[in-house]
Amino acid sequence: MKQLFADLGGSVRPLHWHIDTRVLRWIGHIARMKRDRLPRMLLTSWVPHPRPIGCPRMTYGRTIKKAMKRREEIWPGLPFNKPDNWTALTDAAQERLRQKHAKEARKHEIKMHTHWMTLAQDRGSWRTMIRGPEPETTRGGPAVRRARAQRSNHRHQHHHQPVHFQPAVTPQNYQQHAGNFNDMEGYAVHRNFDD
């Protein structure tokens, strides 16, 4: 497996990148929805009570947040800048600076909860942002050349016949399934399914 990735030369992205991209594309779509749409209402609602003991720790909301935090351009971090004289400070002074940073980090976290929704409003820039730069293309090693050769051979060897599907509901009885049908004179009759 290591040899395969070495042959591919960095042109393959990690699996978590693909998962995060799908999650972020969906969340961007939700953010652009109107507030009365059901998916938006479900994903932006919350229960005003603490979670019970033993509940799952990784929720869908936390998955989304984790995916966003991996993208610096969507959820920029707030680094802790140690002063030059950090080692000369007393433990109490260092603790005060840490607490001050923690307070700023909480404010920053709250700000980021709404910041990403502003970014997601522009679909084109959101998609560019979540996809990131494309990996560098290389000519590829032996594995890439073998895969290309197999694909080209496969295309030329198999000739698939088109598949003709029969609809489950044929046009003659479609209206009966829908609940309405025409009687012998052509009048529309509503069919009651309880009969």
**Does 55 or 19 have the greater pLDDT score?**
19
List Cβ neighbours of 43 (8 Å cut-off, separation of 6 or more).
Answer: 27, 30, 60, 61
Q: Per the confidence metrics, is the pTM higher than 0.85?
A: no
Q: Is residue 126 part of a domain?
A: yes
pLDDT of residue 159: 57
Looking from the CA of 151 toward its CB, the CA atoms found within 13 Å total 6
Q: What is the mean pLDDT of the chain?
A: 76
**Does 10 or 109 have the greater pLDDT score?**
109
pLDDT bucket at 27, cuts 50 / 70 / 90: very high
Q: Is residue 184 over pLDDT 70? A: no
Best mean pLDDT range from 38-52, 91-105, 124-138: 91-105
pLDDT of residue 33: 92
Both tokens assigned to 47: 């229960």
Q: Is residue 139 part of a domain?
A: no
Query: In this structure, are residues 163 and 29 in contact, taking their beta carbons and an 8 Å threshold?
Result: no
9-23, 36-50, 94-108, 179-193: which range is least confident on average?
179-193
Where in the sequence is the domain holding 26, given as residue range(s)? 13-45+58-81+103-131
pLDDT digits (tens, 9 = 90+) for 45-70: 877 888 778 877 788 888 888 898 88
Q: Is residue 36 part of a domain?
A: yes
Percent of residues, the chain, with pLDDT higher than 70: 68
Number of structural domains (the chain) is 1
Q: Is residue 65 part of a domain?
A: yes
Q: Is residue 168 part of a domain?
A: no
Can you tell me the distance from the alpha carbon of 160 to that of 171, in angstroms, rounded to the nearest whole number? 28
pLDDT of residue 54: 82
Can you tell me the distance from the alpha carbon of 74 to that of 122, in angstroms, rounded to the nearest whole number? 13
Q: Is residue 154 part of a domain?
A: no
Q: Is residue 186 over pLDDT 80? A: no
φ, ψ for residue 71 (rounded to 5)? -105, 105
Q: Is residue 174 part of a domain?
A: no
pLDDT of residue 160: 57
Q: Is residue 182 over pLDDT 70? A: no
Q: Is residue 17 part of a domain?
A: yes
Looking from the CA of 107 toward its CB, the CA atoms found within 13 Å total 6
pLDDT of residue 194: 45
